[in-house]
Amino acid sequence: MFWSITRSAAHPPSGLPAFFRLGLAGALFAGICISQAHAADVSTEPVARAGTAKLVSGRVSVSDGGRERLLAPGDAVSARDTVSTGADGSASFVLRDGTVIVVGPSSRMELRAFAFDATTYRGNLVVGVLRGTMRMVSGLIRKTDPDAVSIETPTALIGIRGTDFIVDVEPPRDGT
């Protein structure tokens, strides 16, 4: 499903879950502010920080492979983090290149790779969607090099050509 950013921000399709309609406007605004700040100067943040959680609702946890923590607005997300949402959970993130990611209820998403040079706007982004829904509005990495952004699911690899899209991964039929 594709639609323009202007339409989705001002008049989201009525079939979208509420967490996409309500949370995306705030996340887009935050993404614009952050991308403008990064466009003005080189980031002094640690390289490990890929982005920041902006809106968090319900149960949302982040695992870095060894430990799991509950996510709160303002928390950092890093490459190789896995975000899991409960049945009542959803979260939005703004990455350092201005990419906005919204993860829906009962979802599991991995930020498999993220690198971004704020001077050249070059980098790469690989996101794995293991189950549930994810909406992404791509940022400067995709603008600079569309092939540098990809979405992986259990059954497919998606190359990104648009700027605003939704991925929905249904759980396996055997219940795992």
For residue 167, what pLDDT band results from cuts at 50, 70 and 90?
confident
Of residues 60 and 8, more confidence is placed in 60
Domain hosting residue 137, numbered range: 5-169
- Angle, CA of 23, 29 and 35, to the nearest 5°: 125
Kindly state whether residue 98 falls inside one of the protein's structural domains.
Answer: yes
Query: For a pLDDT cut of 90, what percent of the chain falls above it?
Result: 51
Kindly state whether residue 60 falls inside one of the protein's structural domains.
Answer: yes
Number of domains in the chain: 1
Kindly state whether residue 25 falls inside one of the protein's structural domains.
Answer: yes
Kindly state whether residue 176 falls inside one of the protein's structural domains.
Answer: no
Q: Where are the alpha helices (DSSP H) in 43-97?
A: none
- pLDDT tops 70 at residue 3: no
**Token pair listed for 9:** 């921000």
| 96 touches 120 (CB < 8 A) | no
Of residues 158 and 12, more confidence is placed in 158
Tens of pLDDT along 47-104?
A: 479 999 999 999 999 998 788 999 999 999 999 999 999 999 999 999 999 999 999 9
Q: How far apart are CA 143 and CA 168, in angstroms?
A: 24
Kindly state whether residue 174 falls inside one of the protein's structural domains.
Answer: no
Kindly state whether residue 47 falls inside one of the protein's structural domains.
Answer: yes
Q: How far apart are CA 85 and CA 70, in angstroms?
A: 10
Of residues 49 and 3, more confidence is placed in 49
CA separation, residue 51 to residues 23, 34, 123, 157 (Å): 17, 10, 14, 23
